[in-house]
Chains A and B, each alone.
Chain A
């Protein structure tokens, strides 16, 4: 019998605990497939964060470290500085990255740590049951903004990709979504590009993936996908915010494009400064 489908080796056999319709499953698989496609499963180290993705360390089949809330970029720094030739990535949600972990993400980018951040933005706290996130839209109802997010009371959403792209240390930042086949393919391309950026030691890379949370949004999964397109994409326009002109050849080798002048981990400072 012909094999028409095989699960990727980049994921373990452990069943996901994610809710039906949640985008984490798709995004996990894209990361896992990228690891496999680049033959990095044996060497990569991932950092799971806190939120719905706390358990991603059990699902993704490379070595994984589970980090404290918001601290994944610092943990990844500690790993990457020692494993300079291994692919090191974090997988973080919006509460983790854009609220409690703002200092860590900003400074990892500023230092141009040669790591890749997969930032999943679903505009709500999922694990703790639907509280307002730093990325919650104006007017969006959550369990802690029961009348909708009111900027005069709760402030404004944070556009992470936009503000991080202002930092000189950021090499590549792109926002994608996984609402349909075309966008999923595009997201996979972006993750591969981030992988190439790191492999070529060009510095900090981040892929922001807009995601749904049908459970906490209180919406049917398909309706949630539509809601994402109609509402989230207005606040968070898709596109490449940094490093759009960086190109690689067919082997993933850097060809051209503006990059940070000195990405970290790329030189052995000790040899230079002795």
Chain B
């Protein structure tokens, strides 16, 4: 049963969703534009008897996450791009030690200190590793406050199920905006046994060890192959995307999160001009919906793809892998924290439709 819709800020919904998902541990360090997650946690987490620690750094925060996860408890941290860079060490260790954790990145524009306005420049970092070693994170990109709520709850289930980091990627728009959200009376929490947790032997004949170090190359190779096998299962089972207006689409937009919302308006405007535009919105950025892209590329109505991002073209590499040369993939991106105007995107669609644009787009 859904409750009455209430108006809430994206960042606060992230925190509320985590608490509803049974998370009783939050460790973080302040950074704009995600600080409301911390503000909310500082109050609510304590009121529900959970742990809230304002850590000395993002590095310390992610290692507190590592500790709580190692002991078998649901745990979350949140940050924004520069802070997420600092957390990469810990995220790599979490991958190596196979611990469940939820990490939220309310992305801002980079590189370096960059700015604080919305961006999607951390796509590569989130989906292609980020830290050292061969590992993956499940990466989820919600596009509305309601979806933030539902997917943060789901992120905890996925993290527990696969014993890996589940990363929620948002941006300043999603974190700062208010939208109505309808909470469920009861959350679909999937409780997973954690026999591996280091929380005291409690009668076991062996001691539980949580580690990511394997000095022997053969042992480490085996460990890595096990990880890869796990990632294949995730790829097979956890791909999520939304297909919008795809029937008879001539041009297929690929966009995620905030960008996809701007593109929704553009689809309507294009229809008024008689151009059929569809959209594939990846919800999981990893695993990526390659198959959906590939099938779209096989559609006879589809002439081209237009990838729209708040970066210089990152997800477009995955879109091209999916399209596999079958149809051209054009690009429209904005940098530095700017959002594309609907008109910019519409103009590009018209240009593609009229065959006046070469592959690649504006970079």
Contacts and interface: CB of A to CB of B under 8 A. Distances in A.
Are A and B in direct contact (Cβ within 8 Å)? yes
A273 interface: yes
Interface stretch (A68-76, A131-139, A144-152, A247-255): A68-76
B38 interface: no
B209 A78 contact: no
B64 A268 contact: no
Contact of A270 (B49, B59, B68, B90): B49
B71 A45 contact: yes
Nearest to B73: A82
Contacts of B59: 71, 74, 103-104
Contact of A63 (B46, B61, B75, B200): B200
A67 B63 contact: yes
B66 A104 contact: no
A54 B53 CA distance: 26
Interface in B48-66: 48-51, 53, 55-57, 59-61, 63-66
A274 B46 CA distance: 8
B275 interface: no
Contact of B56 (A44, A60, A104): A104
Given A79-B71, A82-B73, A68 B57 contact: no
Given A66-B97, A83-B71, A107 B209 contact: no
Nearest to A62: B207
B209 A75 contact: no
B67 A79 contact: yes
A268 B66 CA distance: 22
Nearest to B72: A82
Contacts of A74: 55, 59-61, 63-64, 66-67
Given A57-B209, A103-B57, A79 B68 contact: yes
Nearest to A103: B56
Interface stretch (B120-128, B148-156, B210-218): B210-218
Contact of B63 (A57, A58, A71): A71
A271 to B, nearest CB: 7
B201 interface: yes
Interface residues of B, number: 44
Given A78-B65, A79-B68, A63 B47 contact: no
A64 B198 contact: yes
B348 interface: no
A103 B86 CA distance: 14
B25 interface: yes
A77 interface: yes
A66 B47 contact: no
B83 to A, nearest CB: 14
Contacts of A71: 59-60, 63, 66, 90
A68 B213 CA distance: 10
A176 to B, nearest CB: 26
Given A66-B97, A79-B70, A81-B68, A107 B200 contact: no
A91 to B, nearest CB: 13
Contacts of A77: 27, 53, 60, 64, 67
B69 interface: yes
Given A77-B64, A78-B64, 18 more contacts: A42-B200, A42-B202, A55-B213, A62-B207, A63-B201, A64-B208, A66-B97, A67-B66, A68-B93, A71-B60, A71-B63, A79-B68, A79-B199, A80-B67, A81-B68, A82-B51, A111-B53, A273-B47
20 contacts: A41-B201, A42-B200, A43-B201, A54-B213, A63-B199, A63-B201, A65-B198, A65-B209, A66-B97, A66-B209, A67-B66, A75-B67, A76-B67, A78-B27, A79-B71, A80-B67, A81-B51, A82-B24, A82-B199, A104-B59
